[in-house]
Amino acid sequence: MTRLSVNINKIATLRNARGGDVPNLIQVALDAQKFGAQGITIHPRPDERHIRYQDAVDLKPVVHTEFNIEGNPQSKFLGLIEKLRPDQVTLVPDADDAITSNAGWDTVKNQAKLKEIIAGCKNIGVRTSIFVAPDLRMIEGAAACGTDRIELYTEAYAHNYVKNREEAVAPYAAAAVHAHQLGLGVNAGHDLSLENIEFFAKNVPHLAEVSIGHALICESLYQGLEVVIKGYLKKLTQ
């Protein structure tokens, strides 16, 4: 079964819009896990415009499933990883001013840098994942870096799903097969939704985990968090 990790960044965005502590990030994380989520994902950025570094500290004791922290591996971020030692760190090459993640790593160009960072994370017992496009060369580069997993950047799939879902998913299926052959675990995320997740999960082999935030939270505004999480779990097991 593909595991579902719920990204709660949007909850922090809503909280920060008014100051104070409503909605309460800790309670949402607890409720998401109670409703069946098999992991909690956060993505702190340098300007802390949604998830704050203190949020990561506060969440650590209450995430009893899998704690996945995403981010650009700058020194402050790596210090947080060393301090908290989450179950998984997902390395994302987003710029400081990026609204959201918009590219995967060039794992060939950045191989020396990534190799050093990954070795450091693995030395403290943290599983590593690299955010990459479904490009076989980049996946081979990721394997050469020593990462445990890749996270396939699925924006292109989501964008092209309505036009031709078979064509949209094909490069991801090929990427997952190749990654598996290289000994890598396969995660995926970005713009996955209740509309497109089932087809993706059925057609991408060896899919260990999906991380979903924006769509899941938006859908939950209409349907309720518990209903939406259970909806994803059902689609991932059919």
Q: Based on the number of CB atoms within 10 Å of its own CB, is 141 exposed (0-12), middle (13-18) or buried (19 or more)?
A: buried
* pLDDT tens-digit readout, 90-106: 999 976 555 555 678 99
Among the listed residues 66, 70, 209, 219, the single catalytic one is 70
Q: Tell me, yes or no, if 198 is annotated catalytic.
A: no
- DSSP helix/strand/coil, 169: helix
Q: Tell me, yes or no, if 116 is annotated catalytic.
A: no
197: its two tokens: 């997740």
* pLDDT tens-digit readout, 184-237: 999 999 999 999 999 999 999 999 999 999 999 999 999 999 999 999 999 998
Structure confidence at residue 94 (pLDDT): 78
**Angle value at C-alpha 7, between 99 and 98, nearest 5 degrees:** 10
Q: Determine the number of helices (DSSP H) and then strands (DSSP E) in the chain.
A: 11, 8
Structure confidence at residue 52 (pLDDT): 95
* pLDDT tens-digit readout, 5-15: 999 999 999 99
Structure confidence at residue 55 (pLDDT): 98
C-alpha 107/C-alpha 115 separation (Å) is 9
- Average the pLDDT over 157-175 and give the result: 98
Structure confidence at residue 100 (pLDDT): 54
With 0.85 as the threshold, say if the pTM is over it: yes
Q: Tell me, yes or no, if 180 is annotated catalytic.
A: no
